[in-house]
Amino acid sequence: MILGRYFFLGLGLSFAGTTTSVVSFFVAHLIPLTALGIAAVIVGVTAATLPEQVTGSYAMKVLLRGSTLGIDPLLDEILARRGMTSNPNAQIPNPVWNYSLEDVEGEKGEEGGPKQGKIPRAIYLPPKMKETSIATKSPSEDERSSVYIPLRDHILPTMEEMRAAPATLLSEDRSQDGIRVFTAGAYLGQLEEIKGEDVTIEDALEYILVESAELCTSVRASEIEDTIVIEINDVKVEPESESYRTLLGSLPTSLAASVVSSIRGAPVVIANEDIAPTKTVARLLILGGR
């Protein structure tokens, strides 16, 4: 049995309240002190039964951290594959963390969205919402958010091409354009708490990162056109691997990108991320919105 942090405090209050009530009622005949003792017993019992964590828990952080380890070997292979491709741009083997808005925009495609641009890292794709099965009430695969990682060059495929990308590295196919992976934020788009017109992006991030997972103490979000700047304060989770951070961003920012992509229904890329001991500031770009 795991005792909560308030167990012994509650036990002490209950004992003191019981003693006060008995002495006050049977010896001193003081009704106010008797009531005070009974109140102390009630508070003590309540405190003793409180869990270690009221909302999130350290176990939740460990689970989220463990979820990043599952795809680390694949991310290492992706980085190695990038290093073996004959790409004229040196940014691909060693993806740059910061790049300009002009680099991301590139040339426009037929539908108005960006067709080519310098996007060396992951592109967070929104779920393709479909009705769930009436019999099983289970979501289809299209209702999962996914992440497209380009392998060969800066060509940005269409949404359907990215969603149709293989989920594994094809060892014999060096012309493979990209790979689709699933992160810890794959099913965040199904949460009712982040849906609705009255739910802002900041509200959704506050619910996921602070209230539910307790990965940080607070989060702020500001939006200017297709750019969203998020500020994550006092991150409480252990650092992720270098390969994860290089391709997908830090764990809180990766979850934030999945949330933004699901809410907006558009691809999102982490343009830059400044990680400091007490604060992380990231700039997310919504692609195809112009």
Residues 41 and 158 placed together within one structural domain of the fold: no
Distance CA 257, CA 61 (A): 18
Does residue 113 fall inside a structural domain? Answer: yes
Both 149 and 37 in one domain: the answer is no
Contact in structure between 128 and 139 (CB atoms under 8 Å): no
Give me the domain span that covers residue 195. Answer: 58-286
Residue 42 belongs to a domain = yes
Mean pLDDT for the stretch of residues 212-225:
90
Report, as an integer, the average pLDDT of 208-228.
Answer: 90
Q: Does residue 138 or residue 284 have the better pLDDT? A: 284
The pLDDT value recorded for residue 236 is 81
Residues 167 and 205 in one domain: yes
Specify the pLDDT at position 25: 87
**Lowest-confidence region among 7-11, 96-100, 283-287:** 96-100
Q: How many domains does the chain have?
A: 2
Mean per-residue pLDDT, 128-136 = 50
State whether 33 and 125 are in the same domain.
Answer: no
Same domain, 221 and 261: yes
**20 and 101 part of one domain:** no
Residue 58, pLDDT score? 66
- 24, 119: one domain: no
CA angle in degrees (0–180, nearest 5) for 139-206-162: 45
Assess whether 11 and 146 both reside in one domain.
Answer: no
For residue range 88-106, list pLDDT tens digits in order: 343 333 333 333 334 444 4
For the chain, the straight-line distance linking the first and the last C-alpha, in angstroms and rounded, comes to 56
Pair 140, 92 in one domain: yes
Q: Give yes or no: residues 246 and 146 share one domain.
A: yes
| Angle between the N-to-C axes of helices 58-69 and 251-264, in degrees from 0 to 180, rounded to the nearest 10 | 80
Asked if the structure places residue 103 within a domain, the reply is yes
Question: Which range, of 76-85, 97-106, 261-270, averages the lowest pLDDT?
Answer: 97-106
Identify the weakest region by mean pLDDT among 8-12, 50-54, 69-73, 270-274: 50-54
What lies within 8 Å, CB to CB, of 133 at 6+ separation is: 140
Most confident of 60-64, 118-122, 189-193: 189-193
For the segment 200-220, the average pLDDT, to the nearest whole number, is 90
Residue 57 has pLDDT above 50, yes or no: yes
Domain shared by 15 and 96, yes or no: no
Co-location of 171 and 85 in the same domain: yes
Give percent above pLDDT 90 in the chain.
Answer: 28
Hey, how many other C-beta atoms are within 10 angstroms of the C-beta on 150? 24
Residue 98 dihedral angles phi and psi, to the nearest 5°: -115, 130
